[in-house]
Amino acid sequence: MTRLLIVGPQGSGKGTQGVRVAEAFGIPAISTGDMFRAAVSGGSDLGNQVKAIIEAGDLVPDSLTSAVVRDRLAQDDAAEGFLLDGYPRNLGQVGDLDAFLQGRDEQLDAVIELSVPRDESISRLSLRAQEQGRTDDTEEVIANRLGIYERETAPILDVYRERGIVDAIDGVGTLDEIEQRIIAALEARGLVRTADV
């Protein structure tokens, strides 16, 4: 069982690294962003609610996010572990996740903190917006999202640091270099990967 959380500002590469690390450990990468984008493209009522929130550069409410994540973690492929990306993103959601995991007699094994300078995040996100034509990645929206991360998400790391499960990883370098740093930190905790990277 390997239960991981990857945390970092938008543009830190956590989505890309999350998928790579999850594959190495044979667990699903569970990204709230991907789940929300799927809901938006599906055009459901939930998707339309989420779309309006995201386009404003705001975050989806905790109750909605926690419900979506709980439902996903209850699926069979997450029974042997998971890597969470984008959740929990504030102290309220930490409480929701703790309660859910305690109900299953589980806890997180490690929290990967990807550290990237703010100007690096902004330049990566601006480039991504141009390449992917993402309307939700204007410079104003990016700055707003980074501000929300700094105010709301960064404090969750203090909770996990108190538990001794945070591995701070330098998020600047090639994809392979960053991935190797993460894997080495997790293996130092005794976590065993299922695939060679």
User: Which among 104, 134, 161, 163 is annotated as catalytic?
Assistant: 134
Q: Which residue's entry shows tokens 């600047």? A: 172
Q: Tell me, yes or no, if 20 is annotated catalytic.
A: no
User: Which among 3, 89, 124, 181 is annotated as catalytic?
Assistant: 89
Q: Tell me, yes or no, if 124 is annotated catalytic.
A: no
Q: Tell me, yes or no, if 134 is annotated catalytic.
A: yes
126 burial level (CB within 10 Å; 0-12, 13-18, 19+):
middle
User: Which among 3, 20, 124, 145 is annotated as catalytic?
Assistant: 145
Q: Tell me, yes or no, if 104 is annotated catalytic.
A: no
Q: Which helix (H) or strand (E) holds 103?
A: helix 91-103
Q: Answer whether 54's CB lies under 8 Å from 40's CB.
A: yes
Q: Tell me, yes or no, if 189 is annotated catalytic.
A: no
Q: Which residue's entry shows tokens 């203090």? A: 158
- Dist. CA 49–CA 182, nearest whole Å: 35
User: Which among 3, 14, 20, 181 is annotated as catalytic?
Assistant: 14
| Crossing angle between the packed helical segments 118-132 and 139-148, to the nearest 10 degrees | 130
**Catalytic residue IDs:** 14, 89, 128, 134, 145
